[in-house]
Structure 1
Amino acid sequence: MTSYEAELVVDRRESAADGVLALTLRHPLGEPLPVWEPGAHIDVLLGPGLERQYSLCGDPADRGVWRIAVLREPDGRGGSAYVHGELREGDKVRVRGPRNHFALEPAPRYRFIAGGIGITPILPMLAAAEAAGAEWTLLYGGRTRGSMAFTDELDAYGDRVTIAPQDETGLLDLGSVLDDVPEGTLVYCCGPGPLLDAVEARCPGGLLHVERFQPKEQETGPDTAFEVELSRSGKTVTVAEGVSVLDAVRSAGVEVLYSCTEGTCGTCETDVLEGTPDHRDSVLTDEEREAGETMMICVSRCRGPRLVLDL
């Protein structure tokens, strides 16, 4: 898998909300950045062990800059603390991508639901839906009004956007947007796990598209050992109990792109040539899992004794 990778300059740091920092990134020589579409994210390599994924939330037509927004998480693993506390305007950060597992599919109508920092991939989707002449609404929740990013930009859309801070209105009224959804409507949702779980419980899978920042809780089978043949490398490795396919492949000297190691970012997605994957990621749709054409090798395993991967 090929991917753009470069050191970009932090052009601007701006507060997007309480605890949310917006960063604008540009190429140091002014070179145009790769094309992206709403729903895409990039990997930001902040340092050893500090590689994080952030949704692009600017204007896809602007090839000069990329914008991301980072929520400060006091109980996080260090990435957000580094961005908020150490990264300054003029600093350089290495980035990789973009990738998109949350693409906006064409539809005459949309229902968008965002919770907290989950507004970031949704924001450019609204502009795209507007430009396409589609009907759409957004239900956007957060802890407090002050903690909700980009509300000033959303003001331009008028009453199609419902801002619902929890301390003012309570939990999001999902029934107001998910009950009696007209035919042909697609639902896009991004936010914390409990919100996504509640939306998934109400919405048929074929209509719903979600992006998770944390792995989805799911029942899995035993981590039995199996073999993986690497078709391009000519190697066969044994994936032992408790060892990921990713770790086994890398231990065999085959380098692959990876990032989150949690099955949420899609960086390690690999083509499956033979065998049946035991999908344990939070990226693929039910249809993609059933097809079994790709798998996230950082978490997923095998439903039999052998897989053949395009590695």
Structure 2
Amino acid sequence: MNHVFHPHTTDLETEPPHLYGRWRRDPFMRLLTGLGKVWFPFWSPLAPLYETAVADHVQQLTIVGREVVALDENVIALTLGAADGSILPEWHPGAHLDLHLASGRMRSYSLCGDPGDRRHYRIAVRRIPEGGGGSIEVHDTLRVGDTVTVKGPRNAFPLALPGYGSPARKLRFVAAGIGITPILPMVATAERLGLEWSMIYSGRSAESIPFIAELARYGSKVTVRTDDVDGLPTMAELTGPEPESGLAVYCCGPVPMLEALRRHLDGRRDVELHFERFSPPPILDGTEFTVRLNSTGETITVADDESALTALRRVRPGVPYSCQQGFCGTCRLHTTAGEVDHRDSLLTEPEREAGYFLPCVSRCSSAQLDVDA
């Protein structure tokens, strides 16, 4: 407590006294100070500091494989590799790539290949005619031999292995339709490590389900059910009649299924639920507000159940976006007035204080938000 009642007045520009009080300034520390005053001025011209490049993780890759992986021909898998066959950055199950398209669109696609293959990435894309145009552009324009720009890999849906970051003892994988893409490498990893796991895979029909032949090698560990034959799955069918303690559930599929599964497992502290959605999350506690575009002065009403991005796209169809979940940053805009209700997981506090926000998930706590758009 001595430092509280008797604050020291040591001069930080001089050496401290000797430990046992024999000298007012410690001889050894004085020697080091003297050497420093000579060494650093001498060495600094020989080892100047340079600006280091910021790693943006952008790569130019070549399409080395294109394959139709669903019987209805609406899902294609693209295999990407470096032109010189060099090693690609490492990734882990659950990771995704941001694919930059020639139109200027950027879309995020889960990596669905083998994490152990360091020379190739694989993504799969379902053709969605009523979507934002990204999937149609991929299907209609990208061919083997084309060069594409990708950013990543990044992981917003990591697999926590039992015994290595997770107390779970068993893994249960739940996938619906194209939601199989992040689950595929998780299943392969669990099988390779000898973990106890099972999977249920659902879809509209057998023709629409991608990678069904690839999953056949796992035998009875994978249960495939289709809506046209079996009806919509119940939550008990997805998790088991009574989910066991120590179970970890990994799910990717449509929002209604994810929300139903979350409610089904609500309160089960002994069961882990991990999920990823390919569509915007539901809006909770939303209130109506307006967005004013600084460039034109026009105002847009954002309903209480829609995102600011959706409202913006009604008048600016070309506004950039990708994940629609608040983690890629593609749709980032700058605000000049209004109070933002930040709901993303990407922006730093300095970025938020500077006026940036992500319209795909964030909202407005005031009546109006002025944006530079």
Give the TM-score band, short-chain normalised: 0.7 to 0.9
Of 122-131 and 179-188, deviating more is 179-188
Cα separation, 2, equivalents of 1:115 and 1:143: 9
Matched, 1:100 2:165: no
Structure having the larger proportion of residues in strand = 1
Matched, 1:197 2:252: no
- Specify the alignment match of 2:216 in structure 1: 155
C-alpha spacing 1:162/1:261, structure 2 compared with 1 (3 Å): closer
How many Å apart are 1:301 and its aligned residue?
5.6
* Preserved CA contact (<8 Å) 1:245 1:297: no
Q: Comparing both chains, which one has the higher relative contact order based on Cα–Cα distances under 8 Å and sequence gaps of 6 or more? A: 1
- Specify the alignment match of 1:182 in structure 2: 244
Cα separation, 2, equivalents of 1:259 and 1:62: 30
Matched, 1:120 2:165: no
- Specify the alignment match of 1:37 in structure 2: 92
Q: 1:260-306 CA deviation, whole Å, 9 max, x = no partner?
A: 26225x12399xxxxxx94535x79xxxxxxx9x99941336879xx
Moved over 4 A (4+): 221-225, 241-246, 301-304
* Preserved CA contact (<8 Å) 1:111 1:187: yes
Cα separation, 2, equivalents of 1:200 and 1:76: 26
Cα separation, 1, equivalents of 2:117 and 2:111: 12
Cα separation, 2, equivalents of 1:14 and 1:172: 29
C-alpha spacing 1:177/1:11, structure 2 compared with 1 (3 Å): same
Q: Secondary structure at the match of 1:47?
A: coil
Cα separation, 1, equivalents of 2:207 and 2:289: 48
Cα separation, 2, equivalents of 1:261 and 1:171: 27
How many Å apart are 1:162 and its aligned residue?
0.5
| Paired amino acid for 1:183 | S
Q: If you compute each CA radius of gyration, which structure gives the higher value, 1 or 2?
A: 2
Cα separation, 1, equivalents of 2:109 and 2:201: 19
Q: 1:127-179 CA deviation, whole Å, 9 max, x = no partner?
A: 11122322111110111111111111111111110001111111123302424
Cα separation, 1, equivalents of 2:250 and 2:276: 8
Q: Secondary structure at the match of 2:122?
A: strand
* Preserved CA contact (<8 Å) 2:108 2:323: no
Cα separation, 2, equivalents of 1:278 and 1:134: 42
Q: Secondary structure at the match of 1:97?
A: strand
| Paired amino acid for 1:70 | V
TM-score (norm 2): 0.63
- Specify the alignment match of 1:170 in structure 2: 231
Cα separation, 2, equivalents of 1:198 and 1:24: 34
Of 54-63 and 73-82, deviating more is 73-82
TM-score (norm 1): 0.75
Between the two proteins, what is the percent identity of the paired residues?
45
How many Å apart are 1:221 and its aligned residue?
4.8
- Specify the alignment match of 1:140 in structure 2: 201
C-alpha spacing 1:300/1:45, structure 2 compared with 1 (3 Å): same
How many Å apart are 1:36 and its aligned residue?
0.4
Structure 2 gaps, min length 5: 1-53, 163-168, 291-299, 310-319, 333-339, 367-373
Structure 1 gaps, min length 5: 226-240, 247-257, 271-276, 285-291, 305-311
Cα separation, 1, equivalents of 2:357 and 2:161: 30
